[in-house]
Structure 1
């Protein structure tokens, strides 16, 4: 109860100074990191190559995102960066079925538009924002100059997400018709009522303050910089280009594409090593 009272007081105090400002807006920069621990057959991949692969994959998951927001909407997208070098003799394929190129969230209308470029085709995923059942915890901490409060929620996801194949000899995706084993994960978020915006990085939203950090057990996304009411006006425009689909329709398309990739990979003979990792939500 004390936590809820503190949050309300923070929210009301800061809202009083900002809600009358029609141009209230800001940009938050986030850094993401993901745990990488993949076991490979030592008869096909030596320890030195395995280490280089792990370092390369860690770099692949170290990304920077910008979240532009105002009181009613936000835009979340990755900063462009050079791809890290690949180990010689290694073909590396990563398919991210849960990421987004440009994620627009309309907080007022509780809907989103996700412009996603997958396999060379642009999709425009339009759907309602899902309500997240957050539990407000008693812990608090500072992130930069902001006082943040802890919130948690749980979610079901496949216990083994994606697969790995080496020269086609090992394919954890082989039985694509098998129902994946599910596990319950705990997602921890840290939000600040000092910025009374109910959004955050990626698909996270719905807390009484901007989410500055979130961790799902394997990936951590944390805010490294915030600029409130910058001198240059921020443009938060909903993406328009792409084939319009719902989230469920997009998921079906992705599953079909992944099945085609598996079948093609199993039918072709490859020279050298191939590692494929699929990251989903």
Structure 2
């Protein structure tokens, strides 16, 4: 009897998720410990304030069958919030097209202005057999790495994602995508983006591309930020 009930439950769950055409996921931000920054005499106190500011920040991932947009939500800003955004690029927006390799990043910084970067980077994920529940969603672990370019050089950092195969969209926070399910938690260096609320809809919502800023290539932007002190 239990086996029959499980089969029926899986059947109706599959039908429900197959009818989803759009959705929104709200993510919270946590900034964890980073030995290099936390122990630095100059940046350590600022980083500690950024950790407190992160608790006030949330993001939303808007998505439909064709595209997604990840951006920060409006909030009351104080110095701690400003520091948190500075350490994580929290003012930036990321636009992804599902059926192509096209991506767009809207950079918003008081330090060097506003830019639109078109790029085609896809992450090379390693899928693992480790699982955990995020709220009621069964998620699987995947890992990759990211490259960061700043005034001090080029650095690589590990990235961990927890994706949900039962939500059949391959989007995620911060422009990450390409997994067989929606990313509900992402850890990049010291920043963790965790899903707080998931709203799914049968309606196909409209999502606009970012359109504010000077259009540059990723290579051109890398040259610009090399001249600016970075954390």
Task: Calculate the TM-score normalised by the size of structure 2.
Answer: 0.77
CA distance in 2, matches of 1:15, 1:104: 28
- Structure 1 segments, 4+ long, off by >4 Å, are 12-19, 92-100, 155-158
2:39 corresponds to 1:38: yes
Q: How many residue pairs end up in the alignment?
A: 214
Indicate the residue corresponding to 1:236 in structure 2.
207
- Of 23, 27, 37, the residue aligned with 2:24 is 27
Q: Partners in 2 of 1:255 and 1:210 — Cα distance?
A: 33
Q: Which residue of 1 aligns with 2:73?
A: 79
1:192 positional shift: 0.3
The answer as to 2:177 corresponding to 1:205 is yes
> CA offsets, 1:201-259, max 9 Å, x none?
0021110000011123422111111000188x743111223211111111212223x1x
- Higher CA-based Rg: 1
- Identify the match of residue 121 of structure 1 among 113, 117, 121: 113
Q: Quote the residue 1:271 is aligned against.
A: none
Determine the structure 2 residue equivalent to 1:136. Answer: 127
Output the CA distance in 2 between the equivalents of 1:82 and 1:26.
Answer: 25
Q: Distance in 2 between matches of 1:13 and 1:155?
A: 38
RMSD: 3.3
- Give the unaligned 5+ runs of structure 2: 1-9
Contact 1:140 1:147 in 2 (8 A): yes
Unaligned runs of 5+ in 1: 1-9, 42-49, 87-91, 163-175, 263-277
Instruction: Quote the residue 1:167 is aligned against.
Output: none
Structure 1 residue 17 displacement after superposition: 4.7
TM-score (norm 1): 0.65
Question: Which whole-Å CA distance do the structure 1 matches of 2:12 and 2:66 have between them?
Answer: 19
Deviations 1:179-199 (A, max 9, x none): 56x4x5432211001111011
Alignment-derived partner of residue 146 in structure 1: 137
Residues 17 and 61 of structure 1, relative CA distance in 2, 3 Å threshold: closer
Tell me the secondary structure at the aligned position of residue 124 of structure 1.
strand
Task: Report the Cα distance in structure 1 between the residues aligned to 2:87 and 2:189, rounded to whole angstroms.
Answer: 18
